[in-house]
A and B are shown apart, each in its own frame.
Chain A
Amino acid sequence: MNRILGRRAILNFIYLMSPPLLDVEGGGRGNAPLMSSSASGDCISQSGSGLKECNFLGLSDCSSVDSSAVSNVCGENKNNLNFKATELRLGLPGSRSPERDSDFSLLSSGKLDEKQLFPLLPSKDGICSLMQKSIVSGNKRGFSDTMDGFSEIKSSVFTEGKWMFNANGSDSGTPQSVVEAKLAGNAGINVILTNNSSGAQPSMKKEVPTRAPKEGQNKMNGSNNNSSAPAAKAQVVGWPPIRSFRKNTLATTSKNNEEVDGKPGPGALFIKVSMDGAPYLRKVDLRMYSTYQELSSALEKMFMCFTIRKCGSQETPDREMLGENKFKDLLHGSDYVLTFEDKDGDWMLVGDVPWGMFIESCKRLKIMKGSDAIGLAPRTMEKSKNQN
């Protein structure tokens, strides 16, 4: 073992000689946690701004979306909430605002029948218990305002070196809930953009595992489990590590069995999504959503991110990407409609049949130009009548 270490130490030394990056003694024994260094602060705020670029709903430079798009995303009675929630008022435990309380009591009355998103924290950090109360279906709706607010949260809280997940502060209430909702939404970034891990993700996740053990939060697990009501778990990309084949099989199996207590079946249902003009397909998990709105906004973000990113960079002019004009079309919501191919191979407009029926028959999705989709709507209605 010593010989091996010796060899390694030599190699360490060689690599340590050149780069400006390394400043440790040989052997990698320096154990300063990465998290507290300013470098990680840079990482966090940087990736926060990276997130910002992606956001087409309000704060980014590229977008010029009118507010109607935003309110569509948010749903009828939660409009105010989203905008309020994006304002930077949070971070320090104990600071409350009455408005917030009322906002969140609204949320807590939301239905609990769908998967919640929570950040990658062990429940011992006190997050789980609060997550049940916080935005539920709103998590998916809250996705947009999460993206809005996320960069601010990070810059205000994280770079100040404050760690928000005080396990003891689990009763601090609203601000923390808001934070967690934000972070939940952030974890939601991972989830909704199934194959697209956001820039914020690495910094999020790296924060958590390091901090929790150091603060000795291990004992929190039990108490939190007691205090929280059981609820469906959020999905982290690729966790638990189950192959798509098996996940889809589980999903289909559960569809065949009766749903218990009205909760949605387990397992994922990955469907390919293509878009006219986009160079490649994405995949979405239909089980992540419970309404057409959620699916639609998630898809918008999924395909939007690529467009905006390419807008910003001058790097690959020969890439076959959506041009500026098409992008603007997308933003103004003028030109694209969402269609799906059902089990019979017919293409139909999305939105005419109840969500449950849609999930069962949808084989794939396609974002088509509006002009190509003329004539689809009537067939949908007829077909559903025939099926019924």
Chain B
Amino acid sequence: MVYSFPEEVLEYVFAFLSSDKDRNAVSLVCKSWYEIERWCRRRVFIGNCYAVSPQIMIRRFPEVRAVKIKGKPHFADFNLVPERWGAYVYPWISAMARSYPWLEEIKLKRMVVTDESLELISKSFKNFKVLSLSSCEGFTTDGLSSIAANCRNLRELDLRESEVEDLSGHWLSHFPDNFTSLVSLNMSCLGSEVSFSALERLISRCPNLKTLWLNRAVPVEKLASLLRRAPQLVEFGTGACSTEIRTDIFSNLVEAFSGCKHLKSLSGFWDVVPAYLPAMYSVCSRITKLNLSYATVQSPDLVELISQCSNLKCLWVLDYIEDAGLKALSSYCKDLQELRVFPSDPYSAEPNVSLTEQGLVTVSAGCPKLQSVLYFCRQMSNAALIAIARNRPNLIRFRLCIIEPQAPDYLTLEPLDTGFGAIVEHCKELRRLSLSGLLTDRVFEYIGTHAKKLEMLSLAFAGDSDLGLHHVLSGCESLRKLEIRDCPFGDRALLANAAKLETMRSLWMSSCSVSYGACKLLGQKMPNLNVEVIDERGPPDSRPESISVEKLYVYRTVAGPRADKPDFVWTMDEDGALRFS
């Protein structure tokens, strides 16, 4: 009987449960297990900051040590979400400052963080250890100064891809002289030069430093000095490597790298002069992750480097690698799991490099462990997609961006329905898919039929009619996030599958054909959803109901309509009336 089992024992057992899914399942067993579990949950992940309120989180989980919160929809990365949309972190910080004095970790993604928030963090949590701001914005280097000066036990400061107003590099000098706990520092998004001597001293006195991603402003001639002070580094990101090569710089670099016996990941390489690359050859055999996506280096030099990385698991690279380079990759790097190829010149009409679908086909054939792909290219064929699907049924993430919208199969001029159909049919574990090229409703029929594990789907310029959306919403059982732009999907499929939306985290539709009337209806019928209309033309009431809204963001929530909406967002609520912020 459950009564004969002391709480302390259960608590001890639950402590071994780290996954949220397991903990959620445990909470549902009975009331006492719910109570025990909620008191000992230490980590909370909030996938949508508006799905729940800070108060609700704090009420249920009073002893949290680590939170991870995501804000804006993914399409905000591509400027589709207007500025001032929301995702402010301050209310969360202020609530947690009162209720979680022992908070250690805050990880945020796509949220607006102000200097005020950063200062509050730095002063409220005595044992604060980890601050990760991924793709965030709204703060300046002054906020970083507060963190550096006040967080005595800070271990991680990660600012990856955030937009920081860079007032000066002085913030780094705010780390006190007796501060030695740093384990990870990612300042790659910052522009200003930090005091190099302060950086050197910081690195010297932090013996546990494992991750160091410098920013562009650190010149290549200073790298050796840093590496010599931190030979224990596991992840290293260089600054710009663009100064003309000199023998002494080069030999210093070679020596410094050879001292780094634990390096597994390299990044940075902005504007790298190819002649510097051989300085890294000594570490290549241990490298598992290589981010060359800022390196404007041509294929032969890339191949030289990659051919030495026999343990490579993850490669991010520009399309300078070309089909030839990908062929080399597929023969040298048999452990490859993730490949991302970014476009070097996406806006020109003509290809500037010889990278085609063939490169991806070759890698899919030669790398048996490949599971995650992000590939930008200018041409694709159904045959290639079918080959990739047959070669790599173990794919988990497949994101293909054919640069020209609605480009058909370049060989047959047909839509790419059958190609993507093959992907979903063969890759039964597929969790994330992004489509591009010319696509009709048929591809959605394939997806609805086969993609049973699909959790995230991104669509652009695809489909013919509501039937396409209906296939997806009715067929994809595991779907959590659906983001759509510029597709002819309208009211019918959305309303017919309204209940599905409560099983998903969110739905984004922009430049589609969903009418204002349908949005209102959805808001009325589904009280557990926030149906937010984003429209910069003014109140939707001032136009007929049949007019399509510009953008629609629907998400499930227990927190009700949000109170911080800007003037171009309207929540469709139960009364059918509009709410303004």
Interface residues of A (CB under 8 A from B): 1, 4-5, 8, 11-12, 15-16, 18-22, 24, 26-31, 33-35, 39-40, 42-43, 46-47, 50, 115, 120, 122-124, 194-199, 201-203, 205-206, 209-210, 212-214, 218-219, 221-222, 230-233, 235-246, 249-250, 253, 256-257, 263, 266-267, 270, 280-283, 305, 309, 312-313, 315-316, 319
Contacts and interface: CB of A to CB of B under 8 A. Distances in A.
A309 B525 CA distance: 31
B521 A18 contact: yes
B511 A202 contact: yes
B512 A202 contact: yes
Nearest to B240: A256
Nearest to A29: B467
Closest 10 CB pairs of A and B: A238-B78, A28-B470, A12-B496, A266-B345, A122-B406, A230-B350, A199-B537, A205-B486, A202-B548, A28-B496
Contacts of B344: 250, 266
Contacts of B189: 245
Interface of B: 75, 77-80, 82-84, 135, 161, 163, 189, 242, 270-271, 293-294, 296, 342-350, 376, 401, 403-408, 410, 413-415, 434, 438, 440, 449, 458, 460-467, 470, 474-475, 477, 485-488, 490-493, 495-499, 510-513, 515, 517-518, 521, 525, 536-539, 542-551, 567, 580
Contacts of B461: 120, 205, 209
A203 B475 CA distance: 28
Contacts of A280: 83-84
A253 B204 CA distance: 31
Given A232-B348, A238-B79, A266-B346, A210 B543 contact: no
A199 B463 CA distance: 22
Contacts of A27: 470, 496
Given A15-B496, A28-B492, A241 B567 contact: no
9 contacts: A33-B488, A120-B405, A120-B486, A122-B408, A218-B408, A221-B413, A246-B293, A281-B83, A316-B580
B82 A21 contact: no
Given A214-B464, A241-B77, A316-B580, 4 more contacts: A18-B521, A19-B521, A198-B537, A221-B413
A261 to B, nearest CB: 11
Contacts of A40: 513
A271 B415 CA distance: 38
Contact of B449 (A1, A29, A270, A281): A1
B486 A209 contact: yes
B466 A34 contact: yes
A30 B470 CA distance: 11
A310 B573 CA distance: 24
* Chief secondary structure at chain B's binding surface: loop
Contacts of A210: 464-465, 488
Given A8-B496, A206-B512, A319-B567, A218 B521 contact: no
A43 B521 contact: no
Nearest to B376: A240
A206 B511 CA distance: 7
Contacts of B539: 313, 315
A213 B83 CA distance: 35
A205 B410 CA distance: 23
A222 B413 contact: yes
B444 to A, nearest CB: 12
A209 B487 contact: yes
Given A202-B511, A238-B75, A313 B538 contact: yes
A245 B350 CA distance: 24
A34 B489 CA distance: 9
Contacts of B525: 15, 18
A241 B546 contact: no
Given A42-B547, A120-B486, A210-B488, A194 B345 contact: no
Contact of A218 (B294, B414, B491, B499): B414
B496 A34 contact: no
B538 A28 contact: no
B270 A237 contact: no
Nearest to A20: B517
A40 to B, nearest CB: 7
A243 B466 CA distance: 29
Nearest to B514: A202
Contacts of B542: 313, 315
B569 to A, nearest CB: 13
A62 to B, nearest CB: 13
Contact of B79 (A19, A21, A195, A222): A195
Contact of B77 (A21, A221, A243, A281): A243
A29 B74 CA distance: 30
B496 A218 contact: no
A245 B160 CA distance: 10
A33 B464 CA distance: 8
Contacts of A313: 538-539, 542
A21 B521 contact: yes
Contacts of A124: 408, 413
B579 to A, nearest CB: 12
B464 A209 contact: yes
A222 B409 CA distance: 11
A324 to B, nearest CB: 17
A218 B470 CA distance: 25
B538 A309 contact: yes
A55 to B, nearest CB: 13
Contacts of A21: 491, 495, 515, 517-518, 521, 545-546
A244 B490 CA distance: 30
A280 B547 CA distance: 27
B189 to A, nearest CB: 7
Contact of B495 (A15, A42, A196): A15
A8 B497 contact: yes
Nearest to B77: A243
Q: Name the residue among A201, A235, A239, A256 with the largest chain B CB count within 10 angstroms.
A: A239
Contact of B499 (A11, A203, A238): A11
Contacts of A235: 347
Q: Name the residue among A16, A238, A316 with the largest chain B CB count within 10 angstroms.
A: A238
Contact of B488 (A12, A122, A206): A206
Nearest to B440: A213
Contacts of A120: 405, 461, 486
Contacts of A249: 270, 294
